[in-house]
Chain A
Amino acid sequence: MRVAVVLRSICDPSSLRVSRGRGVIETGRARPILAAGDRRALEEALRLHNVGAHLVGLGLGSGAEGFLREAAALGVDELIHLRGEGMPHLELDESPWIELLAEGFERRGAPDLVLVGHRLNNRRASPLGPRLAERLGWPLLTRALQVEMDSGGQVRARCAGEKASALWEAPLPCVVTIEDGPRSLYAPLPATMAAGPGELEVWMNWASGNAEKTVETVDTNAAPEVRGEKLAAEPRRLAQALAQRLRRWGLLD
């Protein structure tokens, strides 16, 4: 069972600057953060991972590299980064990102379940979940507090309502939006430092017709400290880094 979790990079509101003179909000020095709702979705996805699901992290936005690394440290199996020149800030327009996701699923294989935060930030519900479900023709469950999948191809979610929660079921594949909640999960620090070899697939600009150039594979490992030609790291990571360089220089197959 493949479960994809959407991890959207948005601007940390506390790092935005308002230019009174020019009458604009400056985002140039804004710090990227993971949308709070998506962090809850990641926590829910990891719960499904603990009962056997294969997890795919879908990082949206140019600032998502850090979250994908964190997702890897938390145990996410597969990492995909969606980015591209000319793509709008997620806070402004999610439409091109929905299209990129949908086309990516068509080209690279769709997951059985997509989890995404119900809200992008504290202020408003995000259209990404409902519109992705519509685009894919999949059922949608919203504001889920807890998600379970059974072997019969059904997803069951306890969803928040106005005054009480209710249990809903839908057939797979399905999109589920996850309700906000307090954060309870942090990547263990040893795992953040000792991330193993991993690959990050990149999806970009399919929507603008550049499909042939858009899939690349890059190394997501933490590069060990490099000082000139001197490498310093734990032995396992040091060996990996050395092998990587030797391959790059054509000295190792």
Chain B
Amino acid sequence: MDFSFSPSHELLRQVVRDFAQQEILLRTAEIEEAKHIPRDLVQKMAQLGLLGVPFPIQYGGAGAGEIGYCILMEELGKVSTSVAALVGAHIGIGSMAIYLDGSEEQKRKYLTPLTRGEKIAAFSLTEPHAGSDAAAIRLSARREGNHFVLNGSKIWVTNGPIADVVTVFAATDPSLGPRGGITAFILEKDTPGFSVGKIDEKMGILASETGELVFEDCRVPADNVLGQVGQGFLTAMKALDVGRLGLGAASLGGAQAALEACARYAALREQFGTPIAQKQAVQFMIADSLAEIEALRSLIYRTAWMVDTQQDFTRLSAICKLFGSEAASRVADRAVQIHGALGYLRDYPVERMYRDARIGEIFEGTNEIQRIIIAADLFQEYGVRVNP
């Protein structure tokens, strides 16, 4: 066994860490206050090649694979969950769906500008009536000659308001259900009949832009069908499998940052004549957090290695997302507790970390859905088919 990173991945981490610490962390307050990620920052990330890290060089990526993507998400998660959410939606699911199931022509036309950061991607599956029950989507796609006509809406679309390219899932034949009745499309933002609304007043990840997409007789060329007609649900699940791993890595970064913040504070804050780091109550919280973080780190990079070596990783990526997001919430909760009243103040980063961590348990498949995926995968070995 070899748990070391390659020199290239080490350097990638160093460059991303330097960039994140110097270009993002110092602007976190400004970014959260503005409730959007400044365009100049997105442009800098694009120039660095950060928006195409896992994808092959021939499509404009850095060729760093899933290990590189997890390094990226971990380092971004340390400084800003909002920025990690933008990158996760752009790379992990939006662009990833095109990379996994796009034709060579679609990859050249859409994936390359996305990996270079010339365009931003989003992934839209959830609808007002189809959240965890993703197979129940109602956005309809009716074939008319060389086009499909889309009608309906999508909601909770990360990057929706800023995306140039959206991966959209629509029902082409509702009678067939998810296996055969859902088709994936690549949609350009200027397509007539397509409009976007921004959802504000979220609890956390304030700078990540979340949108509602509306389709009114929106005509999408048949050439923009992603994969095969009727196979869109499979495309969505494959992309989400990869995306969940990235979310787990971002949770790892967020948890690490929360742990470092409260350990620093505990070493300085004195009560009863000694630093509170001397108190067992605090030590136990710190130790529990570190144990969870180290377990998560091993899980994340083992799973990333499995992705890069083409092994089956569906179960493990769901575990990464489930365990990672809940561990991050627990660590952030302990960080607030160790800070006491100060942890409840907006002036202290742990307050933001606590709010930001919570979304990890909800988006890209709630943790309840992750538990179903994990259990279903396990029960397959026992000949039991689990129905959600």
Contacts and interface: CB of A to CB of B under 8 A. Distances in A.
Interface stretch (B50-58, B138-146, B147-155, B214-222): B50-58
B62 A189 contact: yes
Given A188-B49, A193-B62, A193-B64, A66 B6 contact: no
A214 interface: no
Contact of B57 (A70, A194, A230): A194
Interface string B1-31: 0100011101110111011001000000000
A190 B61 contact: yes
Given A232-B308, A232-B309, A190 B49 contact: yes
A99 to B, nearest CB: 29
B122 to A, nearest CB: 22
A16 interface: no
Contacts of B56: 234
B2 A189 contact: no
A189 B64 contact: yes
Nearest to A228: B2
A226 B22 CA distance: 33
A186 B48 contact: yes
B243 interface: no
A187 interface: yes
Interface of B, helix, strand, loop or mixed by DSSP: helix
Closest 3 CB pairs of A and B: A222-B8, A189-B49, A189-B62
Contact of B22 (A70, A183, A189): A183
Nearest to B72: A189
A227 to B, nearest CB: 7
B15 A186 contact: yes
B365 interface: no
A192 B308 contact: no
A225 interface: yes
Contacts of B308: 225, 232
A175 B62 CA distance: 36
A53 interface: no
B64 A222 contact: no
A224 B12 contact: no
A239 interface: no
A194 B8 CA distance: 8
Given A66-B10, A222-B8, A232-B309, A186 B19 contact: yes
A221 to B, nearest CB: 8
A54 interface: no
A192 B62 contact: yes
Interface residues of B, number: 29
Nearest to A234: B63
A232 B61 CA distance: 17
Interface string A223-248: 11111001010100000000000000
A40 to B, nearest CB: 13
A13 to B, nearest CB: 14
Contacts of B49: 188-191
Interface string A164-198: 00000000000000000001001111111111000
Given A186-B19, A188-B48, 5 more contacts: A183-B18, A189-B48, A189-B62, A192-B12, A225-B308
A222 B10 CA distance: 10
B14 A66 contact: yes
B68 interface: yes
A69 B57 contact: no
26 contacts: A65-B7, A66-B7, A66-B14, A69-B7, A69-B8, A186-B15, A186-B18, A186-B19, A186-B48, A189-B12, A189-B15, A189-B16, A189-B62, A190-B52, A190-B57, A190-B60, A192-B8, A192-B15, A193-B8, A193-B12, A193-B68, A194-B62, A222-B8, A222-B11, A223-B7, A226-B2
A186 B12 CA distance: 11
Contacts of A191: 49
B11 A187 contact: yes
Contacts of B61: 190
A224 B22 CA distance: 29
A69 B11 contact: yes
A69 B10 CA distance: 10
Nearest to B310: A232
**Considering residues A65, A69, A222, A225, which has the most beta carbons from chain B within 10 angstroms of its beta carbon?**
A225
Contacts of B18: 183, 186
Nearest to A65: B7
A222 to B, nearest CB: 3
A66 B57 CA distance: 22
B7 A222 contact: yes
A70 B63 contact: no
Interface in B307-322: 308-309
B50 A189 contact: yes
B7 A189 contact: no
A73 interface: yes
B180 to A, nearest CB: 35
Contact of A227 (B2, B15, B22, B48): B2
A232 B309 CA distance: 8
A223 B60 CA distance: 21
A69 B11 CA distance: 7
Given A193-B63, A194-B63, A232-B308, A225 B6 contact: yes
Interface string B314-341: 0000000000000000000000000000
Contact of B15 (A70, A230, A234): A70
A4 to B, nearest CB: 22
Contacts of A192: 8, 11-12, 15, 62
